[in-house]
Amino acid sequence: MKKDKIILKEVYDNQVCDTIRKWEKNNMLEKKFNDSWKFWIDKNAFALVWNTPEDAREITLPHDAMIEKEAYAESNNKGNAGYRDGDVYNYVKTIDIPKEYRDKTVSLKFEGVYMNAFVYINGELAGKCPFGYSTFYVPANEFLKYGEENEIRVIVRNGAMTNSRWYSGGGIYRDVYLLVSDLTYIVEEGVQIVTEAASEEYAVVRISTELKNRRHLSEEVMLETTIQDASGSIVNKEIVSAVLFEQEERKICQRIVLDNAKVWSAETPNLYTCVSRLYRGENLLDESRTVFGVRTLQVDAKKGLRVNGTVVKLRGACIHHDSGLLGASTYDDAQYRQVSILKNAGFNAIRMSHHPMAPAMLRACDELGMYVMDETFDMWNRCKSDYDYGLYFQEWWERDVTAMVRKDFSHPSVILYSVGNEIPEIGSNHGAQVCHKICEKIKSLDNTRFILAAINGVFAAGDAVDRIVSDVVSELSKVGQIEGNVNDFMTLMDGHLDDIVVHPEISRRLEKACASTDIAGYNYMTARYEEDGRNYPNRVIVGSETYPPEIARNWALVEKCGHVIGDFTWTGWDYIGEAGVGVPAYNWGEGGFGATFPCQLAYTGDMDITGYRRPASYFREVVFGLRKEPYITVQNPGRYGEHLIKTPWVISDSLSSWTYKGYEGKPVVVEIYSPGEEVELLCNGKSLGKKAAGKDAGFRTCFDVVYEPGTITAVAYEGGEEIARTELKTAGEKRKIALYAEKGRDTELIYIPIEICDEQGTLAADEELKLEISVEGSADLAGFGTGNPKPLYNYNKAVTETFQGRALAIVKKNGIPGDITLKIQSYKGQEEMFVLHDWWNE
């Protein structure tokens, strides 16, 4: 048994993203409302008396109820949600409301509840939201009992299946806040900041502040606006007086100069804080803090996207919203870690797919420097799942679009809005009209960002698909590229997508779909980039969704074409749901579109769900020109020579390992992702030859060799000179469990990677070891698992089996002072104990 003590990194010192954001003067309050909720599942919709059952469990938000259930093959959600069912979730919390709150403005803020949330205060419906991703507010005053105990009840009706194409989670999975202010106050999300000009000498920002007077008397107020830099120093201040008449809501605009302003970009994420204080005489009525960046945007078909006057190409990652082993539960620490890992891997942009991004991730993108494409919906009036948001779109889209834009407005990271993903009706007459309405709504709320729709030309083709297939097959038959009897559209797409997406019928539908947008978002339509640059000389294009294996081809066109502003791969991070679409397979049902249970993850990510970088990530980094070292990965020698069944998201079945016991003397394919003109492969110091590398080889070179344990080395050359080398070693037979605490923000969560290594620290990627964990002291186990797309155990269990030699534990602080003790025990009899000393809890 081994006992180590690890000193964790001190808490990230940024008050804006602190775990609790709180200002309390004259009963002003903005406080997390996450503690002491009672939770239970109950499908009984009708009850004369609402009680809280005795077996209701006390929980702390955020809470994903769906991840707590075991996945099973017969789930009504099928692979969409990773074989997990939804249900009807009940949450109850009681709160004492002081008598003096009768003269205050009290409301609740929900950052995200999936889905069909009904909020009751003292038994009466106070608010609801069908969309699972919108921030929404519930005014509480008229429902409260002052000087008494009040019940807040949230019923989440997530039992209708299917309602999502990916893992949605279920319940109150984002933060909830209690908001208390005076009767005259600053409207929540009512401070909106725009950079009007920025130069080396100074910047000009326009600050609009929404004020509201709920009194039945006029109110003479004073608005004090103070700008602070990152150190907290005041850089400018302005005071404005106004008279608000009874029940009036008014927007006050101020233009403030910032000398020697530091601009925000992905490379220089400089932030300021706007402190807005509302006074009546000397009495402070309300206060709001808004973090913003000084940042200008331009876009056109000649120079593309410019941030602060500098041309930017977006190295983008599409992501879903789940937090891996935590399910959909959204924590600042988890979002910060995810953005940090993506940025370190070479990405500078994130597309939130396919719904509005969580405020926690927006804060992380602002702080770390990551451009954001925020997206509204995955569907409009045509459902993609039986019970999805398409049932509510017509009545609710305007409120949800408004909620997204108000949430995003002052975040400098947000540069693009997408009005929808792969909307089937977008190329029709009425679909184009809906697109126009959404675009105009966004522009009325925010005319500082650029708008697009993420369009899949094949999906938009609608009833023209038969004609397109007939035309494409006819043309390919003439040149002998295909037999003239193809009647399977998916078969045709598999090998001839480029021929399909350039069809004139798709062009006509794109003309309608893009008529109201600033940018054309192309999903899997790389073949149109150059042609559309000629045919539509004013059209700006972004690859809003692309295949990982195509990055070398795509990025060459992004760099070549001024009108193409970037590429967003599907996906940057693996996710639960859409089970198996990226799993390489050799037999039907093992992976791909035919994947069956126990496949639960998509497995398309550059990062797996634990945050470990997979081979595609290094391939992309080399293509981007951000990595000079070659990267070695090895195809499964146990499947050598067999046909790999793979979807367009799969590069190969390779793994960065040179440990394959039992395959000595047998053939194996080594893949090397390398810059330079040539790459050489050596095994135990002996050269196995040189091959073309870099751009001419698509940055991917394969060697067919014989497996010999020891060390393999890849050497990259440019002009005959070595520029870098990388090596892989075979792990020894004697293995140990190694773990450590990652350094991060660590305000609430601590991530603890676990590896099976030999005595020299070489990862034993062939080790599949069953582990059991126990956590004691000042933290509780929040998640335990691996990146295995076919997990054997649920992530809320204390047991897992290593995948490719790795596992991850996530612990959540529980407020009890003292150390955190972790014990890891393997079913081979190994045991390791680690003690983490955390001064935050002292």
For residue 266 the two structure tokens come to: 């992905």
Q: What pLDDT does residue 464 have?
A: 85
Confidence check: pLDDT of 253 > 50: yes
Order across the sheet with 721-729: list the strands.
686-692, 678-683, 711-718, 721-729
Confidence check: pLDDT of 214 > 90: yes
**Gap between the Cα atoms of 61 and 31, Å rounded:** 13
Mean pLDDT on 641-650: 94
At 113, is the pLDDT very low, low, confident or very high (cuts 50, 70, 90)?
A: very high
Q: What pLDDT does residue 769 have?
A: 94
Cis peptide leading into 162, omega within 30 of 0?
yes
DSSP 321-387: S--GGGTT---HHHHHHHHHHHHHTT--EEEE-SSPPPHHHHHHHHHHT-EEEEE--S-SSS-SSTT
pLDDT tens readout for residues 171-211: 999 999 999 999 999 999 999 999 999 998 999 999 999 99
* Lookup result for tokens 């995948």: 803
At 838, is the pLDDT very low, low, confident or very high (cuts 50, 70, 90)?
A: low
For residue 249 the two structure tokens come to: 């809501």
Order across the sheet with 184-198: list the strands.
184-198, 202-213, 249-259
Confidence check: pLDDT of 426 > 70: yes
Mean pLDDT on 712-728: 98
For residue 673 the two structure tokens come to: 């992702």
At 18, is the pLDDT very low, low, confident or very high (cuts 50, 70, 90)?
A: very low
CA-based angle 684:685:689, to the nearest 5? 105
* Lookup result for tokens 């326009």: 206
Contacts for 643 with CB less than 8 Å, ≥ 6 apart = 586
Mean pLDDT on 285-303: 97
Residues 129, 109: contact at Cβ < 8 Å?
no
**Gap between the Cα atoms of 261 and 263, Å rounded:** 6
Confidence check: pLDDT of 683 > 90: yes
Confidence check: pLDDT of 16 > 70: no
Count other Cβ atoms within 10 Å, centred on residue 48. 4
Q: What pLDDT does residue 50 have?
A: 86
pLDDT tens readout for residues 544-573: 999 999 999 999 999 999 999 999 999 999
659 CA to centre of own chain: 33
Amino acid letter for position 42: D
Q: What pLDDT does residue 2 have?
A: 36
At 85, is the pLDDT very low, low, confident or very high (cuts 50, 70, 90)?
A: very high
Q: Which of 16-25, 116-125, 612-621, 749-758 has the lowest mean pLDDT?
A: 16-25
pLDDT tens readout for residues 567-612: 999 999 999 999 999 999 999 899 999 899 999 999 999 999 999 9
Percent of the chain past pLDDT 90, that is, above it, reads 87
**Gap between the Cα atoms of 441 and 433, Å rounded:** 12
CA-based angle 312:401:454, to the nearest 5? 45
Q: What is the 3-state secondary structure (H, E, C) of 34-86?
A: CCCEEEEECCCCCCCCCCCCCCCEEECCCCCCHHHCCCCCCCCCHHHHCCCCC
Q: What pLDDT does residue 374 have?
A: 98
DSSP 486-535: ---HHHHHHHHHHHHHT-HHHHHHHHHHTTT-SEEEEES-GGGHHHHHHH
pLDDT tens readout for residues 778-816: 999 999 999 999 999 999 999 999 999 999 999 999 989
Mean pLDDT on 151-173: 98
Confidence check: pLDDT of 488 > 60: no
Q: What pLDDT does residue 13 have?
A: 33
Domains of the chain: 33-182 (2.60.120.260), 184-295 (2.60.40.10), 305-461+503-571+606-623 (3.20.20.80), 631-656+660-729 (2.60.40.10), 735-841 (2.60.40.10)
Alpha-helical (H) ranges within 574-640 are: 615-623
Which has the higher per-residue pLDDT, 247 or 48? 247
Amino acid letter for position 224: E
- Kind of pairing, strands 117-121 and 124-129? antiparallel
Q: Which of 253-267, 367-381, 416-430, 736-750 has the lowest mean pLDDT?
A: 736-750
* Lookup result for tokens 């060799």: 705
**Gap between the Cα atoms of 320 and 361, Å rounded:** 12
Residues 472, 481: contact at Cβ < 8 Å?
no
Question: Which residue in 9, 18, 12 sits closest to 838, CA to CA?
Answer: 9
Q: What pLDDT does residue 435 have?
A: 98
pLDDT tens readout for residues 458-484: 989 888 888 888 888 777 777 767 665
Residues 198, 295: contact at Cβ < 8 Å?
yes
At 485, is the pLDDT very low, low, confident or very high (cuts 50, 70, 90)?
A: low
Q: What pLDDT does residue 7 have?
A: 31
Mean pLDDT score of the chain? 93
Confidence check: pLDDT of 1 > 70: no
Confidence check: pLDDT of 487 > 80: no
